Structure 1
Amino acid sequence: MTRFSDDIVQAVLHHMNDDHADDSLLISRAFGDRGAQSARMVDVTPDAGHWVYTLDDDLGERPLAVRWSRTITERPEIRREIVALYDRACGILGETPRPH
């Protein structure tokens, strides 16, 4: 399976970590641990989004991979899948998603 180019991955990570840090934390709380204190996206693959999150226990970062709804191959699909994860995370945590 072909990975996304480094340029695409870095652009997605920059956007998520700079503009949507709260969304990464929400996703980490829903699919990782509800006690997550901070989170950041660290990779994008055709099969999953990858984050690390921290808890209040000083044990360091914990990895989190959340599978997409299907394998993706095109850059526009990344946004669609992250929005879908955000919506699912809101549902799991009882949050109202913001409009897209």
Structure 2
Amino acid sequence: MPSFSPEVVAAVLHHMNDDHRDDNLLIARAFGDRAAESATMVDLSEHEGRWTYTVGGEEHPLGVPWTTTISERAEIRREIVVIYDRACAELGLEPRPH
């Protein structure tokens, strides 16, 4: 049984894909392919966030594990921030304040 209701998942995806498109792309470049041209968060579970990213017109899946298994909505934000910070470190970028 999934940890998060469809409404929670939809709200997170809407927020990430409307307000954090650049963060999605940064995550895709850090953990998928440096040449990623676009990225969209497509799902999440208690174990990972899932994105798709595009390189040369071809779409690729990407799963990035959380640092721990999560079960509360507030933990989703915390784990996405952790992934964002890790992506910045991987790419040699200074993360923006949270």
For the aligned pair, the TM-score class normalised by the smaller chain equals over 0.9
Which segments of 5 or more consecutive residues in structure 2 lack a partner in the other structure? Answer: none
Residue 67 of structure 1 aligns with which residue? 65
Give the Cα–Cα distance (whole angstroms) in 2 for the partners of residues 78 and 28 of structure 1.
Answer: 18
Match of residue 30 from structure 1:
30
Q: Counterpart of 2:49?
A: 49
Q: Aligned residue for 2:85?
A: 87
Instruction: Tell me the CA shift for residue 41 of structure 1.
Output: 0.1
Deviation sequence 1:68-93 (CA, Å, 0-9, x none):
00100000000000000000000000
- The unaligned stretches of length 5 or more in structure 1 are none
* 3-state SS in 1 of match to 2:74: helix
- Aligned-pair Cα RMSD in Å: 0.8
Question: 1:5 maps to which residue?
Answer: 5
User: Percent of counterpart pairs with the same letter?
Assistant: 63
**How many pairs are equivalent?**
98
Runs of 4+ with deviation above 3 angstroms: none
Matched to 1:96, the amino acid is E
Partner SS for 1:13: helix
Aligned equivalents of 1:36, 1:43: Cα separation in 2: 18
Q: Deviations over 1:51-83 (max 9, x none)?
A: 000002x3x210000000010000000000000
Structure 1 length-normalised TM = 0.95
